[in-house]
Amino acid sequence: MAATYTPLATTTLGANAASVTFSSISGSYTDLVLIAQGQGTVENYAYMTFNSDTGSNYSNTILTGTGTSAVSTRNSNVTKIYLTPYYGTFYTDFSNITICNILNYSNSTTYKTSLIRAGRASTGGGTEASVGLWRSTSAITRIDITASTGNFVTGSTFTLYGIKAA
Amino acid sequence: MLIIPGIIASSYPRVLNSYESIATVTVGAGGSSTITFSSIVGTYKHLQVRYIARNTTATDSFIIRFNSDSGSNYARHKLSGDGSSASAAAASTATYMASADYPAGTSTFGGGVIDVLDYANTNKYKTMRVLAGYDANGSGIIDFRSNLWQSTSAITRIDITSNSNSFAQYSSFALYGVKG
């Protein structure tokens, strides 16, 4: 059988940047997996949008463990999906890690669901899981990952994989 | 593939045959109440199921079993967030395992990534780990789950059943093998 978990592209920032874009994404896979590890110039969170859509077409349901309690929150009719809603923030010590599964991204029939795991183990950190929705049936061809404030710093890494089902 | 900005942006050489697609089931217009992966070979270290699912009628839950075992040989734990509160629950001597609830509706599908660890080992009970949920812009759930099948048999069959009604058209379940 053919290998099907394929690295598509990666970037390691050589300079501070407010956003990272994966564009011209091939539709020949079934799922995408985005893995990010980074640091902010200030403590910030990361969010993503698809196909340059900045409308209020996104929503999130989030489960967070703070180290002392578990909480759940929701964002509806928002303009982005929160990759690192709270305690998975890009802190100033590279302790953030985010893994985002974008399921059946290339079909033109369903809204697009993403499953996200993020966390930060350093002081003040926590762990979280979330599910995101983009209310569009368009195939995803572009992902923009943006810092809420400030920049992602030099050395932050962002890698996109494609998984192809038989 | 274009990456902006990317000081170091590179294409990888492919690493062959470490993660392989075994089978995929996509539900047709008539719906389907059960998805079955059978005759699963034992040549991998782990299995992974990746899915999107929508119910024909109402928000529903899953029933997942291995090797057609419907006895009280399962246990499960979950940690859930519904957008307003976090909760945890467990069941022992259960007759099935589960993933997160999944929705009905026109275009919104739940999703999940299920890992079945060391599935072919005949010396261990089998653990299934789940990250799954759905968001329907105002409702939804996100789950972590651990499920246990108290059997040392190698897993050769997985049945994923909708607890009520059926999986709707375009629901899709893909089984992958991960080599050790």
CATH of residue A83's domain is: 2.60.120
Q: What was the pLDDT predicted at B111? A: 98
Put simply, the chain B residues between 115 and 144 with a CB less than 8 A from any chain A CB are 131-138, 140-142, 144
Helix (H, G, I), strand (E, B) or coil at A166: coil
Interface test with A, best of B8, B59, B142, B172 (most A CBs within 10 A): B142
The answer as to whether B11 is a domain residue is no
The answer as to whether B75 is a domain residue is yes
CA distances from A30 to A60, A139, A140, B10, B158 (A): 22, 11, 11, 22, 21
Q: Which residues, other chains included, contact B123 with Cβ-Cβ below 8 Å and sequence gap of 6+?
A: B152
Cα(B86)–Cα(A134) distance, integer angstroms? 23
The enclosing domain of B129 has a CATH number of 2.60.120
The answer as to whether B10 is a domain residue is no
Q: What was the pLDDT predicted at B11? A: 44
Dihedral angle of Cα B170, B172, B144, A130, to the nearest 10 degrees: -50
Q: How many domains does chain A have?
A: 1
User: pLDDT (tens digit, 9 = 90+) per residue, A58-67?
Assistant: 999 999 998 8
DSSP 3-state helix, strand, coil percentages of chain A (rounded to 5)? Answer: 0, 50, 50
Q: A111 touching B, CB under 8 A? A: yes
pTM for the predicted model, two decimal places = 0.93
Q: How many domains does chain B have?
A: 1
Nearest residue on chain A to B100, alpha-carbon basis:
A131
Give me the domain span that covers residue A78: 5-163
Cα(B160)–Cα(B112) distance, integer angstroms? 12
Nearest residue on chain B to A16, alpha-carbon basis:
B5
The answer as to whether B46 is a domain residue is yes
**B156-178 mean pLDDT:** 97
Query: Do B178 and B114 meet the contact criterion of CB atoms below 8 Å apart?
Result: no
**B124-137 mean pLDDT:** 98
Residue whose C-alpha is closest to residue B110's, from A132, A117, A164, A47 = A132
Q: What was the pLDDT predicted at A11? A: 95
Q: What was the pLDDT predicted at A124? A: 74
User: pLDDT (tens digit, 9 = 90+) per residue, B5-27?
Assistant: 433 334 444 455 699 999 999 99
The verdict on a CB contact (< 8 Å) between B4 and A20 is: yes
Cα(A130)–Cα(B166) distance, integer angstroms? 26
Cα(B179)–Cα(B6) distance, integer angstroms? 32
Q: B102 touching A, CB under 8 A? A: no
Instruction: Measure A31 CA to nearest chain B CA, in Å.
Output: 9
Q: A27 touching B, CB under 8 A? A: no
**A134-142 mean pLDDT:** 98
Helix (H) or strand (E) holding A130: strand A126-134
Residue whose C-alpha is closest to residue B36's, from B153, B161, B176, B131 = B161
Confidence class for position A95, pLDDT limits 50, 70, 90: confident
Q: What was the pLDDT predicted at B7? A: 34
**Which token pair is A61?**
């349901």
Give me the domain span that covers residue B90: 21-178
Cα(B116)–Cα(B155) distance, integer angstroms? 9
Is this prediction's ipTM beyond 0.90? yes
Instruction: Measure A25 CA to nearest chain B CA, in Å.
Output: 6
Interface test with B, best of A74, A142, A158 (most B CBs within 10 A): A74
| Mean predicted lDDT score pLDDT of chain B | 92
The answer as to whether B87 is a domain residue is yes
Cα(A35)–Cα(A12) distance, integer angstroms? 12
Lowest mean pLDDT among A38-47, A60-69, B85-94, B130-139: A38-47
User: pLDDT (tens digit, 9 = 90+) per residue, B57-87?
Assistant: 999 999 999 999 999 999 999 999 999 999 9
